[in-house]
């Protein structure tokens, strides 16, 4: 191996098998579509630390689950709920960050977390499309700038972020989409169609796993979406 190749591989992040977990260091529930999928509800109930973003607490309480903290500006929480949970309500009125980011920064500041903690975001999609796009885009920002391992679970699948070489647990006919901005080198093994450094955001969508895992290797960060169920 030449010196330049050795240097490139030394700087490259290589991760082990990445899969959807049942338990995360922090679970943050946003006020989009409330999770109904079995995997999402399991994550919600197994949370080590559970933060509800503002109005999301109302639907959460209907499931008989109470959050550890409620974070937001309080504009979509009933007066009765706010009064009952005043001791765990943290009003953050600044509007530079959205509620998802406010909750994430609160967890990093106030919880005793390990290095590169795992965060799972639920209820972060659905309802307003601009909120959905903004929340998904934040995952790579959190990964790069807040040094966390973020996962976003919806009722249909989940998003994860990685870089370098990563193997993802999968199953045959699982639908897989890859999103990246800035990769100059990108390749895959275990997907139906080979990938490359896409020039358009949509080009990595609607791929498919052919076995029980697939591997992505790239020179920058990328976002992966995997479905809960196989294509029929």
% of the chain exceeding 70 in pLDDT? 93
**Distance between the two ends of the chain, CA-based, in angstroms?**
45
Burial of 48 (0-12, 13-18, 19+ CB in 10 A): middle
Indicate if 51 and 122 belong to the same structural domain: yes
Residue 4 belongs to a domain: no
CA–CA distance from 215 to each of 91, 151, 190 (Å)?
42, 18, 6
Among residues 155, 177, 196, the one where a domain terminates is 155
Residue with tokens 């040094």: 147
Whether 6 shows a pLDDT value over 50: the answer reads no
Q: What is residue 206's predicted lDDT score, i.e. its pLDDT? A: 95
Whether 10 shows a pLDDT value over 60: the answer reads no
| Number of domains composing the chain | 2
Q: What pairs with residue 100 in β-bridges?
A: none
Residue 139 belongs to a domain: yes
H helices of the chain, in order, are 3-11, 38-45, 56-61, 79-84, 99-110, 129-141
Extract the tokens encoding 29.
Answer: 């529930």
- Residue 120: phi and psi, rounded to 5, are -120, 130
Whether 76 shows a pLDDT value over 60: the answer reads yes
Residue 204 belongs to a domain: yes
Indicate if 66 and 163 belong to the same structural domain: no
- Domain with 148, as residue range(s), is 17-155
Q: For residues 94 and 16, what is the distance between their CA atoms, to the nearest angstrom?
A: 38
pTM (predicted TM-score) = 0.90
Q: What is residue 189's predicted lDDT score, i.e. its pLDDT? A: 97
Per-residue pLDDT of 14-69, as tens digits, reads 556 788 999 999 999 999 999 999 999 999 999 999 999 989 999 999 999 999 99
Q: What pairs with residue 150 in β-bridges?
A: 119
Neighbour count for residue 206 (Cβ, 10 Å): 12
Taking only Cα atoms into account, the Rg of the chain, rounded to an integer number of angstroms, comes to: 19
Label residue 7 by pLDDT band (50, 70, 90). very low
Among residues 155, 190, 223, the one where a domain terminates is 155
Among residues 94, 126, 155, the one where a domain terminates is 155
Q: What is residue 95's predicted lDDT score, i.e. its pLDDT? A: 75
Residue with tokens 């979406």: 225
Report helix, strand or coil for 156: coil
Let me know the angle formed at the C-alpha of 114 by 61 and 31, rounded to the nearest 5 degrees: 25
- CATH for 204: 3.40.50.10240
């Amino acid at each position: 191996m030449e010196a330049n190749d050795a240097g490139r591989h030394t700087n490259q992040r290589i991760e082990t098998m990445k899969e959807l977990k049942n338990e995360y260091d922090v679970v943050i529930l946003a006020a989009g579509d409330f999770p109904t999928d079995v995997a999402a509800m399991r994550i919600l109930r197994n949370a080590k630390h559970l933060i509800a973003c503002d109005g999301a607490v109302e639907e959460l309480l209907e499931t008989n689950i109470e959050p550890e903290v409620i974070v937001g500006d309080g504009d979509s929480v009933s007066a009765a709920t706010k009064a009952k949970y005043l001791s765990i309500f943290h009003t953050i009125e600044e509007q530079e960050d959205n509620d998802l980011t406010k909750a994430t920064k609160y967890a990093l500041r106030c919880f005793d977390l390990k290095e590169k903690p795992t965060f799972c975001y639920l209820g972060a999609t659905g309802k307003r499309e601009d909120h959905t796009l903004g929340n998904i885009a934040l995952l790579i920002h959190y990964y790069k700038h807040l040094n966390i391992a973020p996962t976003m679970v919806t009722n249909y699948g989940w998003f994860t972020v990685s870089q370098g070489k990563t193997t993802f647990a999968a199953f045959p006919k699982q639908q897989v989409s890859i999103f990246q901005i800035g990769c100059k080198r990108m390749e895959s093994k275990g997907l139906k169609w080979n990938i490359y450094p896409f020039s358009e955001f949509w080009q990595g969508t609607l791929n498919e796993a052919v076995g029980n895992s697939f591997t992505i290797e790239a020179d920058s960060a990328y976002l992966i979406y995997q479905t809960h169920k196989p294509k029929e």
